Amino acid sequence: MRKLLTILPLVAISLFALMPHSPTAVAQNAVSIEYWNINNQGFGGATVDLLIEQFEAANPGINVEARVQESYPSLVQNLELQIAGGNPPAVVQIGWPYLDYVYNNLPYVSVEELIEKWGGAEHVAQFPENILNLTLMGDSHVGLAYSLSNPVVYYNADMFVKAGLDPDNPPTTWEGWLEIAPQLSQANGGIPVFNFGYGSDNWILQAFVESNGGRMLVCKDGEYRSGLDSPEAAAGLQAWADVVLSGQSLNATYNEATPAFIGGETVTYTYSIAGRGNLQSQASFDLRATVFPQFGDNPVRVPSGGNLLVVFATDPQQQEAAWKFVQHLTSVEGLSEWTRGLGYVPLYEAVLNEPAYAEFIAQNPIQQVGNSQLDRMVRWTSFPGPNGLAAGEVAFRATQAALGGQMSAAEALAQAAQEINELIAGQPCTE
Amino acid sequence: MMKSAASTSAPGRSYPLAGSRVRISFTFSRHVVPYLYLTPALLAIIMFVYLPLARTLYLSFHQGNLLNPTRSFVGLDNYTQLLNSPVFHRILLQSAQYMIFSLIGSVLIPISLALLTLHLTDKELDFYQSALFLPTVIAFNVVVLIWAFFFLATPNGLFNRLIALLDQPPQSWLRDPSFALPSIALIANWKIMGFHFLLAVAGLKAIPKEILEAAYVDGAHEWTLMRRIVLPLFAPTGLFLVTVTLIGSLDAVFTPIRVLTEGGPNNATNNLMYAIYSEGFRFFRVGQASAMSVLLILLFGSAIYMQYRLLDRWVTYER
């Protein structure tokens, strides 16, 4: 009996070892690919799972493993280490500010190469030219545009009512907001009216700078130069700094800004339309949104947030599976699911006409606000060259200095422009 | 004639056998065997310490990222850029500030608290040890999240609620350069203080009671006891605490910086350790990150050498 008891576990272990215990062992010629994304469960994770499930059901033999990364910067860090180790993930969401870095430094597979090897030209042809151009670097496309978002002004309609203001007609200009801000604050216990959550990605900075007529980056004498030392850029940042320094706006990063708005500690929250799903599920008040404000007569220019899908798989089987998966994610059905789940704007016409999406958009006025800004979207600035990421950090530091009141926006941006120009010196451009 | 073994051996020792075999055997066992024993450890140290150090030094003279095998040689450019950069000077200054905060929060306060416990009963001491040690066992990320609620910029932040009682407007604690660095230092020291308190208590308890009693009988007063007996005998523990605190001071604030401020606002919470991380893994500028690492090693190495030279004079070791 004792002998039997000794042998039994050994037999069990041997049997377990021989059993096909992973999906790869079940299917013949199965391919496993990794999909790196930033969609945790609070930010579209469930939609990613659903899209993978649909893809695997339609493509037996391909297993997709989603790997969630903390943020775009940490994703690129880990990607670099993974590539250095010779084991790149198959499909990766690359944040727009990292496009230049990926183009110059990482061994991606271009869309042209993927089409040549595995077909799919008709799928790519659905994308309008301006959307395709977002990923065009040199003479090839680094990846396919996937997530496109823009900043909208979410607001607490209940607080508008409390202040005796019409929540159906929120201001659409900066001047309009400044006019009603004291009334809104006073009626709601003196809380800050504005809340521009920001991070080192310079996304909101670009919206302020470019909507005031400035530019983050300009092309001068065949070389990229910082555009931050212009009076227009300074006016944009100063407008933001003024409301922060006067206490009318919260000075908070993304992590602090979202809970503050949800918790009723600010009247508005200028944030990505991609956050719509999350905010709607959490807000216990009448949540609404309006467009990013216009400054004077300047046209509104909002940076396109989000990411592109880039293939890094080197193994032919994995590469083919990765390209199939990218096409699934950017299909009409895939994009409909994606934009409904999170709030990103649709990439091409056919998505707008997809029945589920059309029904959803008719019932969701907040999403309509994001979609209405499509023609105001510009490329999210990616500073060029090997020091591009460090240049972005310089702009972020200038923002912090101006918002903290240590320097005027003009001083901070002039200093930053000088530093950025040194960092990106020699990077060629065409007018 | 047999040659005396004593003539071939170490002074003061004699061996019964003589001859070349014995000499070889002796030489081997005396000069080679110890190194054979040391070899595995030496190999590990060479592989995991000295080779990476040499690689860091090599990279500091180049420009490039982790992936690209073609790195351009830039000589001392990375070093001159750093040494001429006002941002780097500020980072150095702030690193020193973090060290000073650490010496206060993780050495001075724990030792003072430990001295205060000298008159407590064992039961009371147990209570204080447990209470103060608790933060040490909490994961650092959790500690940072706890403190994030204290430092929230909104009126509902705990510190903002406290100052609201004094009719003060809410502060952006972590976005205000004058508050940000002390706030980050406070988090790190809160986490470490309990452990250092425990070490200080152990150091104090190790002082032989007989010496204290004898001095007391001889008429020494409390202050004299403290100055002449307790502090000198506590000095080795104190030196240890100072050393580990200085070495770990920049490391200790890394997690709060990474999670809460990313070195901001406008570099106000940045230090050498975080700057190296940023250069290497956020901006992928391996050359600059390596040059900073080399400077950090030189700075820490010389600081610790000087610290030993100076403090060794004051420290009394019981032998």
- pLDDT single digits (tens) B267-316: 999 999 999 999 988 888 889 999 999 999 998 888 878 877 776 666 66
Both tokens of A406, joined, read 């240590």
Query: Which residue of chain A is at minimal alpha-carbon distance from B70?
Result: A105
Of A263 and B155, more confident: A263
Whether residue B52 has a cis bond before it, omega within 30° of 0: no
Q: What's the pLDDT at A246?
A: 94
- Of the residues A87, A400, A422, the best mutation for testing chain B's interface (the one with the most B CB atoms within 10 Å of its CB) is A400
Percent of chain B with pLDDT over 70: 88
- Partners of B264 on chain A (C-beta within 8 Å) are 200, 396-397, 400
Q: What's the pLDDT at A84?
A: 82
Whether B15 shows a pLDDT value over 60: the answer reads no
Let me know: does A293 contact A176? Beta carbons within 8 Å: yes
pLDDT digits (tens, 9 = 90+) for B235-268: 889 988 998 898 899 999 999 999 899 898 989 9
Contact check, Cβ <8 Å, A83/B67 = yes
- State the average pLDDT over residues A213-234: 96
Q: What's the pLDDT at A224?
A: 95
pLDDT digits (tens, 9 = 90+) for B68-87: 666 789 999 999 999 999 99
pLDDT digits (tens, 9 = 90+) for A323-365: 999 999 999 999 999 988 888 888 888 998 899 898 998 889 9
Whether A423 shows a pLDDT value over 60: the answer reads yes
Nearest C-alpha neighbor of B180 from the set A249, A400, A86: A400
| Distance in angstroms (rounded) separating the CA atoms of residues B85 and B288 | 12
A426: distance to nearest CA of chain B, Å?
A: 15
Let me know: does A370 contact A150? Beta carbons within 8 Å: yes
Whether B18 shows a pLDDT value over 70: the answer reads no
DSSP for A80-112 reads: HHHHHTT---SEEEEEGGGHHHHHHHS--B-HH
Percent of chain A with pLDDT over 90: 68
What DSSP designation does A292 have? P
| Distance in angstroms (rounded) separating the CA atoms of residues B33 and B27 | 9
pLDDT digits (tens, 9 = 90+) for A15-66: 555 454 444 444 456 899 999 999 988 788 999 999 999 999 999 999 999 9
Residues 6+ apart with CB under 8 A from B58: B290
- Of the residues B85, B159, B175, the best mutation for testing chain A's interface (the one with the most A CB atoms within 10 Å of its CB) is B175
Q: What's the pLDDT at A70?
A: 82
- Partners of A396 on chain B (C-beta within 8 Å) are 264
Contact check, Cβ <8 Å, B284/A101 = yes
Pick from A125-134, A170-179, A226-235, B185-194: least confident: A125-134
- Helices A355-363 + A365-372 axis angle, to 10: 100
| Distance in angstroms (rounded) separating the CA atoms of residues A257 and A260 | 5
| Distance in angstroms (rounded) separating the CA atoms of residues B151 and B160 | 8
B260: distance to nearest CA of chain A, Å?
A: 9
From B264, B278, B281, residue closest to A400, measured CB to CB: B264
| Distance in angstroms (rounded) separating the CA atoms of residues A212 and A235 | 7
Whether B318 shows a pLDDT value over 60: the answer reads no
Contact check, Cβ <8 Å, B279/A80 = no
Pick from A398-402, B52-56, B298-302: least confident: B298-302
- For the beta carbon of residue B267, count every other beta carbon within 10 angstroms: 24
Query: Which residue of chain B is at minimal alpha-carbon distance from A79?
Result: B67
| Distance in angstroms (rounded) separating the CA atoms of residues B83 and B292 | 10
When pLDDT is cut at 50, 70 and 90, the band that residue B17 belongs to is low
| Distance in angstroms (rounded) separating the CA atoms of residues A228 and A213 | 11
Q: What's the pLDDT at B219?
A: 83
Whether A398 shows a pLDDT value over 70: the answer reads yes
| Distance in angstroms (rounded) separating the CA atoms of residues A378 and A387 | 22
Q: Where are the alpha helices (DSSP H) in A148-202?
A: 157-162, 174-187
Query: A151: helix, coil or strand?
Result: strand
- State the average pLDDT over residues B196-216: 90
Contact check, Cβ <8 Å, A105/B67 = yes
- State the average pLDDT over residues A396-404: 95
pTM of the model: 0.81
Give chain A's contact residues with B (Cβ, < 8 Å).
73, 77, 80-81, 83-84, 101, 105-107, 191, 200, 247, 250-252, 255-256, 260, 263, 265-266, 386-387, 389-390, 393, 396-398, 400-401, 403-404, 406
Contact check, Cβ <8 Å, A252/B283 = no
Contact check, Cβ <8 Å, B154/A403 = no
A411 burial level (CB within 10 Å; 0-12, 13-18, 19+): middle
B235: distance to nearest CA of chain A, Å?
A: 44
Q: What's the pLDDT at A207?
A: 97
From A191, A200, A256, residue closest to B262, measured CB to CB: A200
- Partners of A81 on chain B (C-beta within 8 Å) are 66
Q: What's the pLDDT at A26?
A: 42
Contact check, Cβ <8 Å, A260/B281 = no
Whether A313 shows a pLDDT value over 90: the answer reads yes
Here the ipTM equals 0.75
Partner A contacted by B149 (CB < 8 A): no
